[in-house]
Amino acid sequence: MQTTISIDDLQVWAHELRDFFRVTHVFYHTATLKREQIGAFTYSRDWARHYVEKNYLAIDPVLLGAMRRFHPMDWKTLDWSNLAARAFLRDAMEHGLGNQGWTVPIWGPQGEFAVFCLNHQCDDTEWAEFTGRNAKDILVVSHLMHEQALRIINRELTPPSTELSPREREALTHLSVGHSRAAVADILQISENTLRAYIDSARHKLGALNVTHAVALALAKGIITPQGALPKY
């Protein structure tokens, strides 16, 4: 399990966990660490912006339920009876979220609060089998992700490192020789969504405007070489 050094790395980790658990989305967020907000998620940024604009913090049964509990909770056990909650759930599903969820509330010794959530689209039977198999692992992973967030905060959110991770270098290297994203994902044996997270993280670290710019900068700085993508005989 990797050690994160920036919020970008935490975001990549969220995508890796989503693929590992084979769920629709993974989400982690805290807003009470030295007044800094740290979040990592796999759903669209459009939904994140929409959530804030609609002030869903005030009515989200998942968040409200987590703030009153200390143990993991299945979303089915929450109160979805009022019209606002049901409208929120419909809106979330229209933005690509699934109908099932599992949330771990995380409370720290200094009063910090965070949530780690898995979200998926499936029926109740499949979800019950999944949570039964994975509940312990989800609990462990949620606290590991929180520890990584604490590590980032304790470094006082220093500017992101410009050093690319091995996976980020591999992704840009294969793109530099003309491979499609689908081909690169296949070569690296990861999903295209996870590949996108690596590319976005590398682009941000390099200060690039787009993927082509990121590849050009990485080549110019000697971070990658096209030869690195050639098969070895």
Q: Which CATH architecture has domain 166-229?
A: Orthogonal Bundle (1.10)
pLDDT digits (tens, 9 = 90+) for 173-191: 999 888 999 999 999 999 9
What pLDDT score was predicted for residue 35?
Answer: 53
DSSP H helical ranges for the chain: 7-21, 45-53, 61-66, 83-94, 124-154, 166-176, 181-188, 192-206, 211-220
Averaged pLDDT score across all residues of the chain:
85
Choices 1.10.260.40, 3.40.718.10, 3.30.450.80, 2.60.120.1310: CATH for 7-154: 3.30.450.80
Distance CA 98, CA 29 (A): 18
pLDDT digits (tens, 9 = 90+) for 114-131: 999 999 999 999 999 999
Q: Are 73 and 82 in contact (CB under 8 A)?
A: no
What pLDDT score was predicted for residue 157?
Answer: 47
What pLDDT score was predicted for residue 32?
Answer: 58
Q: For residue 83, with 0-12 CB atoms within 10 Å meaning exposed, 13-18 middle and 19 or more buried, which class applies?
A: exposed
Longest dimension (CA), the chain: 64
Instruction: Tell me the two tokens of residue 40.
Output: 């990592």
- Taking the domains of the chain in order of start, what are their residue ranges? 7-154, 166-229
Say how far residue 210 (Cα) sits from the centre of its chain. 21
25-33/113-120 β-pairing:
antiparallel
- Whether 223 has a pLDDT exceeding 70, the answer reads yes
- Whether 229 has a pLDDT exceeding 90, the answer reads no
What pLDDT score was predicted for residue 109?
Answer: 62
Does residue 186 or residue 231 have the better pLDDT? 186
The predicted model scores a pTM of 0.68
Which residues are CB-contacts of 179 (< 8 A; sequence separation ≥ 6)? 187, 229
Which segment of 18-22, 31-35, 108-112 scores lowest on mean pLDDT?
31-35
The CA-based angle 28-47-19, given to 5 degrees, is 50
CA-atom Rg of the chain in angstroms: 19
What pLDDT score was predicted for residue 232?
Answer: 43
DSSP H helical ranges for 71-123: 83-94
